[in-house]
Amino acid sequence: MAANTNQACCTIPPVKSDYSPKGTTEKIGGLDAYVIGPKDAKKAIVVVYDVFGYWPTTKQGADLLAEATKARIVMPDFFRGKPIAQEDYPPKTEEKKQKFQDFFKSTGDFSARKPEVEAVADALKKDGAQKLGLMGFCWGGKMSVLAGGEGTKFNAVAQVHPAMVDAEDAKKLTVPIANFPSKDEPKEDMEKFEAEVQKKDIAKDSVYKLYPDSHHGWAAARADLKDEGNLKNFQDVYQRLADFFNKTLA
């Protein structure tokens, strides 16, 4: 009976294509943040969105995680209301390519945003969180890995359809990682990254699953939840994320 009860508590609710986010906006670590889950929770998960910033599907994912983990879920607005516009993706014109380059040199500069991720972690610990997880999509996936190295404030990290995958980043990881790439990430880069993870002690608690029929963005801003395949994999990856954090933040 206990096992069945636990399974029910740790299962995400049905995913909806027409959805209204349930969270609120709060200041966390000096940043506006989308927040859902009890403030007095002993575990918290920081979600780093993709380059398109806040999106209903990304917020729904945060709500799903909150329900399945009973953690406090916090998605800070690192871009301060100035994400990349979806109409600028993919950057096929010279003008759009320049926009992307400028974005990664300023708003999306990892070295500038990483201290903010850490400030959010400090704020959550001050509020009483004892275990912290960090996860991200695309740009946010890279950020999550970078923040999971030596001296990390997090107990586990995750990346979903990550951007700029680099095996050198994997070498520096000191906490377990959940790695969920799509068909669009460079296969060789992903294999090298995962090979480095498997060399480390963290491998035993790390998880990996390739989604070969899903596009980059399927679990965040570019999700199409009216598409049956996308919907299925959206629900699957959030269940796997919940399972991973329930284990590593226990």
103-134: pLDDT as tens digits: 999 999 999 999 999 999 999 999 999 999 99
pLDDT at 248: 99
pLDDT at 192: 98
Query: Is the pLDDT at 11 greater than 90, yes or no?
Result: no
| 3 state DSSP class of 132 | strand
pLDDT at 10: 58
Say what the pTM is.
Answer: 0.93
As a whole number of angstroms, the distance between CA 45 and CA 214 comes to 24
Query: Is the pLDDT at 62 greater than 70, yes or no?
Result: yes
Query: Is the pLDDT at 91 greater than 90, yes or no?
Result: no
Separation of CA 130 from chain center: 19
As a whole number of angstroms, the distance between CA 146 and CA 35 comes to 23
The whole-number average pLDDT for the span 72-87 is: 95
CA dihedral 216→222→227→233, nearest 10 degrees, is 50
90 neighbors 84 (Cβ within 8 angstroms): no
Query: Is the pLDDT at 96 greater than 70, yes or no?
Result: yes
pLDDT digits 0-9 by tens, 210-241 = 999 999 999 999 999 999 999 999 999 999 99
pLDDT at 8: 40
pLDDT at 25: 98
Q: What is the residue extent of each domain of the chain?
A: 19-248
pLDDT at 87: 84
* Superfamily holding 19-248: Alpha/Beta hydrolase fold, catalytic domain (3.40.50.1820)
Triad 17, 145, 148: Cα angle to 5°:
120
Position 92 confidence tier, pLDDT thresholds 50, 70, 90: confident
